[in-house]
Amino acid sequence: MTSAAIFGCAGLSLSGTERAFFRDVDPWGFILFARNIDTPEQVRALTGALRESVGRDAPILIDQEGGRVARLRPPHWRGWSPALDTATAAALTEDERCEALRLRYRLIGAELAGVGIDVNCAPLLDIPVPGAHDIIGDRALGRTVEDVIRRGGAVRDGLLDAGVLPVIKHIPGHGRAGADSHLALPRVETPLETLAETDFRPFAALADAPLAMTAHIVYEALDPDACATLSRSVIAYLRDVLGVTSLLMSDDLSMKALAGEFDARTSRALDAGCDLVLHCNGEMPEMTAIATALRPLTDAAQGRSLHALALRQPGAADETDSADRYAALAQRGGFHV
> Catalytic: 251?
yes
- Give this prediction's pTM: 0.96
Contact 127, 198 (CB under 8 A): yes
Phi and psi at residue 166, to the nearest 5°: -80, 155
Cα 300 to chain centroid distance, Å, stands at 20
Phi and psi at residue 161, to the nearest 5°: -55, -35
Angle at 331 between CA 145 and CA 148, to 5 degrees: 10
Q: How many helices (H) and strands (E) does the chain have?
A: 12, 12
Q: Lowest mean pLDDT: which of 63-77, 143-157, 181-195, 316-330?
A: 316-330
Q: How far apart are CA 267 and CA 308, in angstroms?
A: 24
Catalytic residue among 85, 147, 251, 275: 251
Domain that holds residue 223: 3-52+60-333
**CA atoms lying within 13 Å on the CB side of residue 260:** 13
Mean pLDDT for 109-134 is 96
Band (295; pLDDT cuts 50, 70, 90): very high
Specify the number of domains making up the chain. Answer: 1
Which residues are CB-neighbours of 24 under 8 A, at least 6 positions away?
none
Name which residue leads in pLDDT, 116 or 181: 116
Catalytic residue among 57, 182, 208, 321: 182
> Catalytic: 170?
no
pLDDT of 179 reads 86
DSSP 84-147: HHHHT-TTS-HHHHHHHHHHHHHHHHHHHHTTT--EE---B-----TTS-TTSGGGSS-SSHHH
pLDDT of 286 reads 98
Band (314; pLDDT cuts 50, 70, 90): confident
Which residues are CB-neighbours of 285 under 8 A, at least 6 positions away?
none
Q: Which CATH number goes with the domain that contains 33?
A: 3.20.20.300
> Could you report the per-residue pLDDT of 147-205, keeping only the tens digit for each?
999 999 999 999 999 999 999 999 999 999 988 899 899 999 999 999 999 999 999 99
